[in-house]
Chains A and B, each alone.
Chain A
């Protein structure tokens, strides 16, 4: 019967439509590794799964190291001594020589641990790694040997741990902050439980932990206390999550929010000092350099803010003043060095913003050459 065949064909034809419709929601991952600068060389993970070293003066690539098997990189490389360390979404940690980008060691030597999304932390010749398998791993920086791994703290860990003295603090998506012995990984007596999960890595200033939450508040939690010191905003929540880790300096917390605003908050009281609306989500943590705050939103706009006066100035796009500062999304963390801010755009290019001249340089391509 013709009609039934037509209907059958319609059903079959609609299936690709489903697939096409669904493809927009597929598990996208491009990575947002940020740059780090050490002795004039910028180290950054690229969107095509490489770690590259770029000469900050000339913009030329010193070396590149393709991760094999190919994977995505979310972590910002970290340099300690003669090695650069990077964790990958493939669940491995690589130690590369900063001189030539040669692999010194990889952990684990075979197989992998859970995906690594949060940047690594180094202290006392130990690398601390939060993994998507819910465990914290610690490695010896020289040989990459496992020192200890924690018990499973959550379904997955996507935030970096913070070290304070001999204690490691870990925030989790299910709303816990755990304290672990940095030496042994044993859980300590104190932990904090919130109704909503924590989105950002904890930042410790004095004896207080500052951390963003899925409930659209920023929390200040005194270490050892069961109740928050304060949460910001007080009653009505912010417009979205505090995704990026806040920056704390001289008694003021600077917190970027996915509602597009940068908030300056009194660290002791949680009182708002000022806010600046960038108009688009702030994914990357702000950077404080030379008494100026540099903040970028996801749309690619970069602002320089005087933290005293809250006066903000947008860096203009060199090609078109009406466009965003850079022609790409900004999700990666960025770093500052001598009045220059290095930003990796989602277009796999490195932008250098001169905060004195208020200009952006020609982008440096990070694509494999």
Chain B
């Protein structure tokens, strides 16, 4: 057995099946429970990111001050901004790292969903070699792929999850995005703000809805924690000083 299967993929698979046993045989509920567990495990990382975002929010008056002072000298402005970030112990790119850290979890979860649901005979046979001999696992197999309107092994045919995943990705992205320090970064921010929801919405249409369910729940948890950590919905109204109109006016 390769290390990936031994350390990550098979434990995630067996935990998911065991969770289904305790959650009325509902695999969808097991995915939601696992999402919450994953968010709890990655909480220290997320907390750092939330603090960073809050600090960036609090720094806005100073950033605007620097903008006024060094607006015509972009190089100097960037230097001063970086200095300011360093003094405050803030990493403006920190918001993306939790997402990167979650990549292996997504892969393991995708594999676990496909393997656990065993939609083809080959997959069911393959599953037999990956299960622990726990009674709760053997008694829960095979799992039902039905959850609400979804077949968790297939993409959502009604696009509802795609809209939820895209929408919640946009909101979370909007809440966690670091303020831009120059028009170029503002442009990147805007691109990311558009690209990420579209990309995840698109992936939701391609991937099993079980994985999309994980994305949706994870996003919703992220939004809620961000909401409380950064002072409520007011943060959603936050705007970068580099709105295109303002930039033109200068």
Q: Identify the A interface with B (CB < 8 A).
A: 1, 3-5, 7-8, 10-11, 14-15, 17-18, 21-22, 24-30, 32, 74, 117, 155, 158, 173, 195-197, 214-216, 237, 240-241, 243, 258, 281, 283, 331
Contact = CB atoms under 8 A, between A and B. Distances in A.
A214 B142 contact: yes
A14 B121 CA distance: 30
A216 B138 contact: yes
B106 interface: yes
A18 B106 contact: yes
Interface stretch (B56-64, B109-117, B164-172, B230-238): B109-117
B111 A27 contact: no
Contacts of A196: 138-139, 141
Nearest to A72: B120
B107 A21 contact: yes
A240 B120 contact: no
Interface of B: 78, 93, 96, 99-100, 103, 106-107, 110-111, 114-115, 119-126, 128-129, 133, 135, 138-139, 141-142, 144-146, 153, 181-182, 184-185, 188-189, 191-192, 195, 199, 203, 207
Contacts of B184: 1
B144 A25 contact: no
Contacts of A243: 125, 128
A28 B139 contact: no
A21 B5 CA distance: 12
Contact of A258 (B78, B107, B128, B181): B128
B100 A22 contact: no
A24 B9 CA distance: 12
A27 B99 contact: no
A14 B146 contact: no
Contact of A28 (B93, B110, B122, B195): B122
A10 B188 contact: no
Nearest to B200: A15
Contacts of A25: 110-111, 114-115
B190 to A, nearest CB: 12
B181 to A, nearest CB: 7
Contact of A7 (B96, B114, B115, B145): B96
A77 B197 CA distance: 49
A32 B100 contact: no
Interface centre among B121, B184, B192 (most CB of A within 10 A): B121
A8 B191 contact: yes
Given A14-B100, A258-B128, A8 B192 contact: yes
